[in-house]
Amino acid sequence: MATCQLAVQAGSWSDIFPENQTTQQQSTVFMKKLLAIAISNIAYMRVLFPEKAFGDKCLEDLSLKVLKNDKSCPGAAQMIAWLKGVFDALDKKYLRMLIFGIQSGTCDPDSFLEMYTFRFSYNDKIELEIQSKNGKLSLISTANETKKATVLLLSRLVALMDTLRPLPPDTRTTMKLLYYDDVTPADYEPPGFIAAKSSFICVEGNPTKFRFQSVSTAFHSMQVTARGYRILTLHFLK
């Protein structure tokens, strides 16, 4: 499955993400958008929903997809609703890990064909302050590193998705959330989620694990891994 479309022109960073992440709010918005785009492109390239459920985005020369809240595609609308619940946990700094799983429709509910894990960490800074050699405030280096890591993560995610073997026809998706227990109320569950009956999770077969580089701002960090027996080991050029 190819994702490059000649009709899509190169898009700028600000077409998708906040130009800077110099405050907690900007950084949180950035993380939400990055997570939504990553999930959207996994869903698109694993053919979880029909084409009409996705809109087009372009970051530099990278063609991307984003889920649309289309009521005619209940599965996509449900996933967007799940993401809103995830965002609630992210806003509150409770979310430690999001597991996005693809399952066989007849398998154990705690067993996955493929599993994509997003790990989050937080820094309690109020705003970003970086002093350059001449004593002036400089944010350029940090912003550039975030942009570089973001483009690299998304391009490698798309490249990995393009190598995977097709899924069986009868599949379903799930999201599982894990929290930082020391700050999360015992009875907290974000909108759309219920307490899990089991903490056991496994991936079928002899799965391959692929770890992507992390994307960080001064306030947040996100690390992504993919695991499944359909996942091939890729060697990317730096």
> Residues 14-46: pLDDT tens digits?
889 988 888 889 999 999 999 999 999 999 999
Neighbours of 169 (CB within 10 A): 6
Q: Which fold has domain 13-228?
A: Cell Cycle, Spindle Assembly Checkpoint Protein; Chain A (3.30.900)
Average pLDDT of the residues in 210-229: 90
Q: How far apart are CA 157 and CA 141, in angstroms?
A: 24
Beta bridge partner(s), residue 131: 137
The domain limits of the chain are 13-228
Beta bridge partner(s), residue 208: 228
Asked if the model's pLDDT at residue 237 lies above 70, the reply is no
Q: Which residues contact 1 (CB under 8 A, 6 or more apart)?
A: 45, 47, 161, 162
Neighbours of 236 (CB within 10 A): 10
Q: Residue 117: which of 227, 225, 216 has the closest Cα?
A: 225
What is the residue type of 130? Answer: I
For residue 143, name the pLDDT band (cuts at 50, 70, 90). confident
For residue 141, name the pLDDT band (cuts at 50, 70, 90). low
Q: Residue 21: which of 11, 10, 12, 34 has the closest Cα?
A: 34
Consecutive H or E run containing 182: none
For the segment 66-94, what is each residue's pLDDT rounded down to a tens digit?
999 888 899 999 999 999 999 999 999 99
Query: Which is more confident, 11 or 114?
Result: 114
Q: Which residues contact 80 (CB under 8 A, 6 or more apart)?
A: 67, 69
- Of 80-84, 137-141, 196-200, the range with the lowest mean pLDDT is 137-141
Residue 233 and residue 208 in contact, taking contact as beta carbons nearer than 8 Å? yes
Collapsing DSSP states into helix, strand and coil, what is residue 168? coil
pLDDT for the residue numbered 238: 38
Residue 136 CA neighbour count, 13 Å, CB half: 4
Residue 9 CA neighbour count, 13 Å, CB half: 2
Q: How far apart are CA 102 and CA 191, in angstroms?
A: 21
Query: Mean pLDDT of all residues in the chain?
Result: 83
Tokens 């996955």, located at residue: 112
Asked if the model's pLDDT at residue 130 lies above 90, the reply is no
Q: Residue 174: which of 94, 115, 97, 90 has the closest Cα?
A: 115
Q: How far apart are CA 231 and CA 141, in angstroms?
A: 34
